[in-house]
Structure formats: structure tokens, C-alpha cells
Structure 1
Amino acid sequence: MENVLVIGGNRYFGRGLVTLLRDSGVRVTVLNRGSAAPPPGVAHLVADREDEAAMAAALAGRSFDAVVDQVCYTPRHAEAAVRAFAGRVGRYVMTSTIEVYDTGECRPLGVPLAEQVVDPQRWPVSGEGESSYGEGKRQAEAVLTRSGAFPFVTVRAAHVLGADDFTGRLASYRERIEAGLPVTVHPENLPSSYTHDAEMADVLRWAAAADFTGPVNACSHGELTATDLCDLLANGRPYRTAPPAPGEEASPFSFDRYYGMDNSRAEKLGYTFSHTRDWLPALRLPTYE
């Protein structure tokens, strides 16, 4: 693998992926709207993903060993990617999400979600593919899987935590604990799977260079509940939790459904995951004086 295109790649683990590829000797090109320059030594194509004609013009005459698509959110995006890259890429990797498993079905506690639970070969594609984040990703996976335009991998990322998480989700726990405010937690307090930003970037690098196809889950070992996160962030200090009031949303990462993922396919294919409790305390946690 010598020539890789990353669509998106402006921030968080996308930027980490670009840096990893560049530092491994790969010739990297980033395609995005141009809101931020890529790292030094990386080529830059400017086009809005929503403007298919602009994307096609930016890509004219180019081909790639692999594409890693960080911003494929809908079946429309996937259909445009098929038209843009058919016959011009050796391998297509889509960054997907744990949210594809949020289909409204009740999942048994303690039975981690394996890739076949949501099969993109069979998932229906409709005009309602943008009704939710998870549904958009499910239908995008289905379009790319069934197109046959190129070897396709969809990497389903667990909830990604990191010091530079722009969503502020983990920071909201830290802030409430420091302020002595209760963290709002569902009474069921069911666990989910997580990964960290550097691990997610590395999984995508690995998937781009491998030769398997189909969906693959990416998560660290060690499921965590919302109170597990509080324990690790509080670092021995007291904290409070409270159930959400009527009409109130629970804290991010508090779930009333089981959300554990099975990462055994990726490990059988050769990737070795870390454990959540090995890296979470090393993030930028609160400093108590």
C-alpha cells in the first residue's frame, strides 16, 4: 500500500490516521472542504462531500491503493463514492459506528454484538436513509457492500474517547464530578464498548493495508457502564449519580440497552486490542488539589 486517500481527516482520530500513514512511508492525500490544512507532507484536495461534481473534478485522473472514508454518513454519500471510485481504487474502507446496532431490538445482556447482527448485504436501502445517524450508516454500508465496485470494508467503531474529543462528552462527566453535581445515569446503567482515538486511527490504518472484506468491529476489551466511567474519572474521590428527571436526557454514555461489541473477528484477522482500564486513566483526567 503506497498511495492512500483519506476523505475527511481534519480532526480527532482522522487526523491521527493521516499522520500514522504518512509516518509509515505511505503517500497520503486528504480530501475535505479545506477548513484546516493537513499535516506537513500530506497532499490536499479541496471539495465538499455534498457536491458530487466538485468531488469528481478534484479526483479527476487520480487512483489510489486504498481510500479511507471518514465522512460517509448516508446512502447518497455511498452512491456518490461508487460513481467516483469504481475502477480507481484497490480497497475502500468506511469508518462506521457502534450506532449501526441501535436498531430498536432488545439485545440480551452479556452477549456482545457480532458483525452478523446487522448484515449490510441484507439491510434495506430506502429514501429514509438520513432519518438517523445509525440508519444512515447502515444504509451507506449496504450500498457500498452490494455495489461490487471495489473490495469493501466497514470498520464499526465503538464509542471513541480521547483527550481531544471535540464533542465534550467525556468532559461533561469530569466537569460535573469536579463541581459536585450528580451525573445523570439511567437506572438500568448498562455497559457499552469503547476505544480510544489512537487505537481507532491504528485500526483504520491496519484495515486499509489488510486484505479482508466486510464489517469488522473495533473496540477495546473491557465494557464500561456510566458509573465505571465515573469511577475512573473520579480517581477515588466521591461523586454522585441521579436518574434522569421526566423529559431529561441521561448523560452521554449512559445507556438503557446493552451495547457491548464482539471484537473477535478483528483479533482473528490479526489485530490486537488494548483494554479500556489500561488507557482510560491516562487521558486528561481531573486534577484534584
Structure 2
Amino acid sequence: MASGSTSNGNESKIEETSPDLLKNTPSNIARLEDEIEQCKGREKYLAQTRSPSDGGDVRWFFCKIPLAENELAASVPRTEIVGKGEYLRFGTRDSLAIEASFLQREEELLSCWWKEYAECSEGPTGRPSTSNMLDGQVNVSSLEGGLSTKIYEVEEERVGIPVKGGLNEVDLVKRHSFPVYWSGENRRVLRGHWFARKGGLDWLPLREDVAEQLEIAYRSKVWHRRRFQPSGLFAARVDLQGSTLGLHALFTGEDDTWEAWLSVDASGFSSIIPLGANGIKIRRGYSTSHSAKPTQVSA
């Protein structure tokens, strides 16, 4: 099935109909890498510092467990860091194809995504909804008539980005992966931009709402405003709105040496995010696992 994605800038349409173009080959990977480099939106995701924690490798993942009927993709995962083994990476060619289409329609797709996220966001226990974090990106009050009804209308034919050799397609508006040739279930698709290493060697993707807040802090070079924390660590603290009460990030170092950790206040649910001495190490951009048997295997 053909995949069409339209760029707001030049109204160009990309179609991939040949089975050979769907294979995970060096030539296809190189072609898609070049296509991504031509996208205007790509530059802001490249590494802006020389820190070992900085990178521009964005990866796409899909959930092993299908979504329930009428379940919004933005409602999962319910933890800020995806569970080990719960999400699998798309193959290199597929991930690049998804990212190329995403960058060409980024503004439109993010608008749809944050609206859906605002609809299903509940916030941490004891706090109001986190939808107010999106005030600068989407007017929540404009959500009328129930977004889920519009998003999940039954369609006679769904057209997305071909993956897995054309057996599945990805709908970037709904962030679904679905089978093409048979009636199957929708699986949540997640864009991995910030990653955490939680008690192991694998870098696990952070949920998009948390990654977006970290990206804003990163672009403002928040580590320049570091101060002594109650723990004695000389760091800049960034309070994060999510499903865990007291969640925050700590940035240390200079431009070329900055490092960051996720942490939770003592009053938070530390059982949800087990912490080390400073918290959970996080990084910008994907890094390969040092494990002999990584759980986030390419698929």
C-alpha cells in the first residue's frame, strides 16, 4: 500500500510502492538519512553541545501490547520511563522512514498529539491535570465535542507509512501501528528523543511529554543556572509535570560536560522510579546498549 505524506512547505508527496524500498538495506538507509537531513526541522534535534550525554539520534518504538478498544495512545505508557521489554525499536530503515514523515508534518502532527495528550492527561495523584503544561502549545479550551470521537472514527481504508516490509503501517496522527492485510489491533507508537538508563545497561525511551520538558530545559542551557541542592549536589533543578509526584531533573556541568538525572522528592512515589545516588541517568539522543542481550531489540 502506498504511503503519502505532504510537506507544508513545498506540498511534495512521498510515495513508496516498491517492495525493494521497504527493505532494511544500506542504500535505503542512506537515502532516508539524506532525506531527513534536507528537512528544515531536523537541525534543532542535532546535538548542540559536545557532551557525551548529547546526541541527535531519534528512534521510534512500538508497544508489544495492543491498545484496548477506544484507548487513546497518549494515555500510555503510564510511567515516565517505558518498562523494560515493553516497547521494541523499529528497524533502522523503518525508524528513519517514520522520522522523515514526522519532520515533514511536524507542526500539524504535534498539534494533534498535544490535543490528545491534554484530553487524557490526569496528572499525578493529589495534583490537578497536567494539561496546563501545554498552554504554550495548544489551547486546551478549544477541545470541543470529545477529541476521541473524532480521532477514532471507523475508516474504510487507513493509509500510513509502510513498515515491516509493507505488512504494517504507521499512522502518525494517532501514533498507531496496524496490520495492512488483515484486521488487527492498534499498537502504540512512541518517538524516542530522551532516554534513561534504569538499573541496567539499556537506554529506555522517556514518554514524549517528559522528553519535551527536558528538551526545553536543554535548549535554554539550564545547567548554567545550577546551584547547591539540599542533597549537596551543585546542579540546576527542573521540575517536571508528569504522573509521578515530585518528579524533577538535575543538570550538572558545563556545555561540553553536562550530565542529567531524573529524581523524585522524598514525598513522591519512589517505588515507581527506583533511584540511585543522584537518580536515574538520562541522555539526549539514542545510544546503543552495552548489554550482550539488549531488551530493546530492533524489530
Give the TM-score band, short-chain normalised: under 0.3
Q: TM-score, normalised by structure 2?
A: 0.26
Q: TM-score, normalised by structure 1?
A: 0.27
Structure 1 or 2: larger helix share?
1
Higher relative contact order (CA 8 A, sep 6+): 2
